[in-house]
Amino acid sequence: ADVCILEEPEHLNWYRAPGCSSWISKFRHCIGVAHTNYKAYARNHAPTGFLAAPLLAGINSLVVQANCHRVVKLSGVLQEFAPINREYIENVHGIRETYLKEGRRRRTSTVITEKRAYFIGKLLWAKGFNQLLELEACFRERTGDFFEIDIFGSGPDEGEIQRAFFNDRGDDESGVFQNSFNKWSGSSRRHRLPANFLGPSDHSSLAGDAYSIFINPSLTEVLCTTTAEAIAMNKWAIVPSHPSNAFFMQFPNCLSYRNRREFVSILEKARYNDPPPLSEELFRPLSWEAATMRCVRAAAISKRDAARDDRISRKTEEKTSSSKQVYRSISSSSSSPSEAVASYEGIGLVTP
């Protein structure tokens, strides 16, 4: 094959078995699709994140440049991996046809939808639950009450998150509840929040008219698939104004906020209005067909760049092949290890 697409090229190449050559020496054109913010995870969750994050970013950049001719990043949240002429920001992910069919159904439906809000995803603090607690507190300050939300999902932080929403200190071993929610909410801390934890569920099971408002306050996503799915199902999607959500700004049922006060105004709007129906032209960018075309466009390079990459690959391959031949020749002609070392010293492979 001439073309190879590497999903998460940094992750794939953190370790490479001894003697294995790079991907660009095996294929004429290698594209890396980066879609996980490892640098942010290291910075926010590693014990020494302030040291681990830049170190990991440097390693990521080295292994990606060594194995990819072109890097496609799902959003501008991700670190720089390569020179600007080798990087491209594009959403090359699509969603299942199931969600698009639901959106078309809701477009023509005359049923009055319930204005219930929900979140679906892994229950990790990194998914924006700190921000969600703060939004609840701000909403109560400005309206006099909390907003109700159904939360679907499970995860390692599920217990702590539930205690935070239900005003139950428990052991609070991580201190997340005390350090994040208390400092913002003030008197709201004494109240149990109207959140229902309903366990894991497939997003497609929430099709229908029971829910019409999806809230995703996360700031660590690269490009959130559940947001795309909610938009496709013609629900309101309320997200922070953030580079990870730039692709979704083209859809009229995506509402973004820059601060907590804007969130309150946007949620009030969503609670009293139906989302505008999406046209077929707006459904298409969410499909896998459109995502595939964007991937082809993002991966393309000029003939001049392709010729240059070919020359570099051939030189690298010739150099590797030459080194292996020298090694085999010396190993076969040397009768003892000391003679082999002497031979390597003679050609500069080992320093005396």
Q: pLDDT digit string (tens) for 232-241?
A: 999 999 999 9
Q: What is the pLDDT of residue 72?
A: 96
Q: What is the pLDDT of residue 112?
A: 67
Q: What is the pLDDT of residue 263?
A: 97
Q: What is the pLDDT of residue 44?
A: 82
Q: What is the pLDDT of residue 350?
A: 43
Rg over CA atoms, the chain: 26
Tell me the backbone φ, ψ of residue 264, rounded to 5 degrees.
-60, -45
Q: What is the pLDDT of residue 317?
A: 64
User: CA-CA distance, 81 to 58, in Å (whole number)?
Assistant: 9
Q: What is the pLDDT of residue 222?
A: 92
Q: Would you say 136 and 151 are in contact if contact means Cβ atoms under 8 Å apart? A: no
Tell me: the pLDDT tens digits for 239-278?
A: 999 999 999 999 999 999 999 999 999 999 999 999 999 9
Nearest CA among 3, 1, 23, 2 for reference residue 12: 23
Q: Name residues of the chain where pLDDT drops below 50.
A: 183-188, 340-341, 343-345, 347-352
**Exposure class string for 227-263: b at 16+ Cβ within 10 A, else e:** bbbbbbbbbbbbbbebebbbbbeebebbbbbeebeeb
Q: How many residues does the chain have?
A: 352
pTM above 0.75, yes or no: yes
Q: Would you say 102 and 207 are in contact if contact means Cβ atoms under 8 Å apart? A: yes
Beta strands across the sheet bearing 70-73:
3-7, 29-34, 70-73, 87-89
Q: Give the containing element (helix H, strand E) for 237.
A: strand 236-240
